[in-house]
A and B are shown apart, each in its own frame.
Chain A
Amino acid sequence: MPVLRIPGPIRELRERERRLVENLALERAADERLEGWLLETFDGRLFRDGGLVERREGPDATELIWTDLDLVGERGRIRPAPAPPILAPSLPAGPVGERLGELLADRALLAVGHLRRRRHTWAMRDAHGKIVLRVLVESAIEFTPAGDRPRRRLPAQIHVEGLRGYEDAFARAQALVAKWRGVEAASSPFATELLGLAGWEPGHDPSTLRYEIGPGSSAAEGFRNIFAALLDVIEVNLPGTIEALDDEFLHDLRVAIRRTRTLIASARDVIAEPSREAFAREFRWLGGETSWLRDLDVYLLHFDQFVARAPRASEHELEPLRALLRSHRERAREHVATVLRAERTRTLLRRWRAFLETEVESGAWATEPTLVPLAVDRVRRAEKRVLRLGRSIDGDSPDEEFHELRKRAKKLRYLLEFFGEVIDAEASRERIRELKDLQDLLGAHQDRAVQIAALERFGEELMDVPATRASIHALVHSLDAERRAFREDFARHFSAYDAPKVRRTFRGVLDRVAPRVRGASDDPSPKDAP
């Protein structure tokens, strides 16, 4: 419902309050002291959905209040309130918890800051005694952002809250406010101000890449800008990964590392060779150190699907496996936290940042070529590698070849995502869509193969639980059947991607944008292809 927010100095607001009370015949409805923690996910999804959560402390209970962006209208309450970071499974069962849990998905609710305020609520009633409008006057507002930022005292504010179906009353209040000289209603909701004070960009996902490249950019400038954006994403996801706030921090960190590696591999002729090779090696190391934890996160995330797949196994029989996965994951988390805090990681990121800030003329970067021809060349080569390998794969090909094809397809997609806007945005998006179907299949196949290997390993650790071992065996059997089905399906999906008309269309776009580059580097060596 509509809310008019009018901030201002308390003395002025008292006078305005008095005028509203008098002109609208308001009755006092409530006096409250409210305090609690504002919560949001790291990627700003609550704000994008039009709300925020407050973990409000009351005299007898603490509850989660899901509100609108002015922290006035309510979307639901949950009691009791778990402490942050709050993941969906920890929300109490019930419709509001379910609704919020769906929105959260795999992200945690994190503390943004502590808010304290005093609220007087006034109500306007109609002839039947029905409330048709509320005026909330908030004063003594103090906000302490989570982390190191200082506590802030904020101006008092009046919220005029309309009620659905009683818009006339709101219009009357609006007209009254409009007559006040020197008064401006806030142009943004209260949540925007609070998030900003806490250093958050409302509704923004910090893992979204932000960089600028244009058709006229040099290759050095283009690559540097993308690398810098990727490094921002790596750095911003480090604390959440180290503290294991939710699994998506690690996921986004790994994607940023993988993309960095893809771009480094494509940066021959852009970055001077000893440096390029050194950074490639170090990012390969960093990516490798996080793989096992990510695998375990995924196994546990999809554990219930595992249970459903093992037709004769009960959830009870597979519980020892879940416990074992959790125990492995704890150890893996500690390992990853240690790696991310280690000097080697800090040095890599510090040096990489410094490298990205060196001047092009320093010799670390090539001054030629321009971006677009080089980007087209890299995309062309990557596409060729996908097609060459894909055409050679048949039903007897080993799993490793499917895995290699998956890696090549991922690299191609990343390059299209990086450079699509300067090559041909629409054609690039279309090619990515065509590639996605193939990637989904290769991913599903690879996941099954990796899961089978891991389950066989875990099975050996559960020698003393025969029922669980038997269930694992059934599960492996089921996963293997799926893996084989995906292999059988491969030819169909690949030929859709490799269809001559589709392929020629894209090749035509590339040829129009840039002729083939003479004297360009050979394909990246297998060693630094991610």
Chain B
Amino acid sequence: MKIVALYSIKGGVGKTSTAVNLAWAAAERGVRVLLWDLDPQAAATWSLRVRTLERGGVRRLLKRKRPLHAQVLASDHPRIDLLPASLALRKFDHHLAKVRKPRTRLRERAKDLRGRYDLVVLDCPPGLGLLSENVFEAADLLLVPIIPAPLSLRTLDQLVEFLAAHRWPALAVAPFLSMVDRRKGLHREVAHDLPTRIPGLLETSVPISSAVERMGVHRAPVAAFAPHGVAARAYETLYDEVHARLWGDVATATAREVRDAESPSS
């Protein structure tokens, strides 16, 4: 089982839309996915129409004696389950501070999911706190969306410095360009220069797209209602890269061949 976290210190960079669409792309590849919504906004939960976290749910998430799997809800996709969020998660750090080994509780709890899922996708709230540290401890890969603008890049630098200076110098970090608007000169410029500037930058960039915005209307991933659009294809390619980082390249190439063969344009 691998854990991928969609994380950024900044908000509004496309974490949730990426988490939801990545989970979908993975599930379409046949992988069993758990999407764990850790953001009190519960946008991922809402996007998949799942019931929000019940009263007392935050405590139950952290309690060792309560099987984590018992709180999982099924999505409409046969291979995506969800651990939902709610506004109650705004107090997650507060609850974490009261447990033993507060920095590693998420990792420990995630062990309960082994054998049930191949991939756990964490949709993380913005900011840097005890929950974030739990995410750093638990994740195999930190996927960091960055909008091609100077402030976003600065935030990435801050994150990388923080990880290096604290307990996580070896944590795999995979930044990728998100919400790229090719009509904007600044975006084009930054996107062009970035690969040399940022080591480990994923090749896929996710374009700004009305389809992604319409996720809120459809309450579904883009591939569910616009499967052939640029956004859906970008998330598939993004998943291919994530898959390669987590499990190696062979299946990526194979999956891409099969997908290309199935595409109406081929």
Contacts and interface: CB of A to CB of B under 8 A. Distances in A.
B50 A94 contact: no
A147 B49 CA distance: 47
Interface in B2-38: 2, 29-32
B261 A61 contact: yes
Interface string B127-164: 00000000000000000000000000000000000000
B49 A93 contact: no
B30 A78 contact: yes
A79 B255 contact: yes
Interface residues of B, number: 31
Given A60-B261, A74-B79, A96 B247 contact: no
A77 interface: yes
B30 A63 contact: yes
A9 interface: no
Given A60-B261, A95-B118, A96-B118, A128 B250 contact: no
A130 B49 contact: yes
Contacts, number: 80
A92 B29 CA distance: 12
Interface in A158-186: 163-166
Contacts of A60: 261-262
A94 B258 contact: no
A463 to B, nearest CB: 35
Contacts of B251: 92-94, 97
Contact of A95 (B49, B73, B247): B247
Contacts of A92: 250-251, 254
A96 B2 CA distance: 12
Interface in A124-163: 128-131, 163
A165 B74 contact: yes
A258 to B, nearest CB: 36
B248 interface: yes
B119 interface: yes
Interface in B226-266: 243, 246-248, 250-251, 254-255, 258, 261-262
Nearest to A29: B76
A165 B72 contact: yes
A164 B80 CA distance: 11
B30 A76 contact: yes
Interface in B78-126: 78-79, 81, 118-119
A94 B247 CA distance: 6
B74 A164 contact: yes
Contact of A128 (B2, B49, B78): B49
A210 interface: no
A74 B258 CA distance: 21
A79 B30 contact: yes
A165 B72 CA distance: 7
Nearest to A98: B247
Contacts of B262: 60-61
B51 interface: yes
Contact of B29 (A1, A74, A94, A98): A94
B240 to A, nearest CB: 11
Contacts of B2: 95
A61 B258 contact: yes
Interface of A: 1, 60-61, 63, 73-80, 92-99, 128-131, 163-166
17 contacts: A61-B261, A74-B78, A74-B79, A75-B32, A76-B30, A77-B79, A78-B30, A79-B255, A93-B247, A94-B250, A95-B119, A96-B118, A164-B73, A164-B81, A165-B72, A165-B73, A166-B74
Given A73-B78, A164-B81, A165-B73, 18 more contacts: A61-B262, A75-B32, A76-B32, A76-B79, A77-B30, A77-B79, A79-B30, A79-B254, A80-B258, A92-B250, A93-B247, A93-B250, A93-B251, A95-B2, A97-B251, A128-B219, A130-B76, A131-B76
Interface of B: 1-2, 29-32, 48-51, 72-74, 76, 78-79, 81, 118-119, 219, 243, 246-248, 250-251, 254-255, 258, 261-262
